[in-house]
């Protein structure tokens, strides 16, 4: 079974600064997909960014980028120029055929953004 | 148009009751899921249906029974509710073969058992 570990239960960043959320995973598969989802207080799950394991290039979406280290099984999320609206729970997730197409989530990191 | 909608949004009920949560998606996806988010915010897969066939059934009590009348609907029925069932339940959908694409989530149902 695949496991996803987020070792930071809480993180804090000042507005306009950069923060990195860590995620590691354990798998024996070679083909899989990784995601970061954001859950603000509204409870809605929002996709932030995705990465295919076969792609070496790190994914980027505006202020959000990942550092994907396949050999180390690491998938960290970097948020640049942090904004108050970035405050939320962030979940790292793994998906593959063996996971039955379902997302396996880490326990989440609560991000606080201070003015 | 809401992509994945689940009802009700809030549900308060007494121990021992039977309740259902409904989920519908209008995205044409072939796979639907139920997740449980506990009080510590941990999201765990409960069930996954692909084209109305059950493909994932995690260690969930028999009191939980999913029903998929068609590809667009996956309802969750819970019998003999217990205090420990209190949680937020999320329905989601995706296209199974396009695993790099987004899974869309409903807004969640907060179930409180008293």
* pLDDT tens digits along B34-56: 999 999 999 999 999 888 788 87
Judged by CB atoms within 8 Å, which residues 26-85 of A form the interface with B?
Answer: 33, 39, 42-45, 47, 50, 52
Q: Which residues contact B106 (CB under 8 A, 6 or more apart)?
A: B4, B5, B6, B23, B90, B91, B92
| A49 min Cα distance to partner chain B (Å) | 9
Look at residue B10 in the predicted model and tell me its pLDDT: 97
Beta bridge partners of A94: A34, A104
Contact B61, B79 (CB under 8 A): no
- Under DSSP, the state recorded for A110 is E
Contact A58, A69 (CB under 8 A): no
* pLDDT tens digits along A56-78: 899 999 999 999 999 999 999 99
pLDDT bin (cut points 50, 70, 90) of residue B97 is confident
Using CB atoms, which residue from A33, A43, A96 is nearest to B108? A43
* pLDDT tens digits along A98-110: 777 889 999 999 9
Q: What is the spatial distance between Cα B59 and Cα A114, in angstroms, rounded to a whole number?
A: 40
Cα distances from A87 to residues A38, A83, B61, B106, in angstroms, run 9, 8, 35, 20
């Amino acid at each position: 079974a695949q496991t996803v570990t987020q070792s930071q239960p809480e993180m804090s960043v000042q507005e306009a600064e950069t923060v990195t959320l860590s995620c590691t995973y354990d798998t024996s598969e070679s083909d899989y997909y990784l995601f970061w989802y954001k859950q603000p207080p509204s409870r809605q799950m929002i996709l932030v960014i995705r990465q295919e394991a076969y792609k070496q290039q790190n994914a980027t979406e505006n202020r959000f980028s990942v550092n994907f280290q396949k050999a180390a099984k690491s998938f960290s999320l970097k948020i640049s120029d942090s904004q108050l609206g970035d405050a939320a729970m962030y979940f790292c997730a793994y998906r593959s055929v063996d996971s039955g197409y379902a997302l396996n989530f880490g326990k989440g990191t609560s991000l606080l953004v201070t003015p | 148009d809401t992509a994945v909608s689940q009802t009700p949004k809030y549900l308060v009920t007494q121990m021992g009751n039977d309740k259902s949560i409904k989920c519908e998606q209008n995205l044409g996806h072939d796979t639907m899921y139920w997740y449980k988010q506990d009080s510590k915010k941990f999201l765990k897969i409960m069930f996954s249906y692909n084209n109305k066939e059950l493909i994932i059934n995690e260690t969930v009590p028999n009191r939980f029974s999913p029903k998929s009348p068609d590809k667009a609907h996956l309802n969750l029925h819970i019998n003999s509710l217990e205090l420990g069932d209190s949680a937020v339940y999320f329905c989601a959908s995706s296209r199974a073969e396009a695993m790099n694409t987004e899974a869309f989530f409903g807004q969640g149902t907060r179930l409180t058992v008293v």
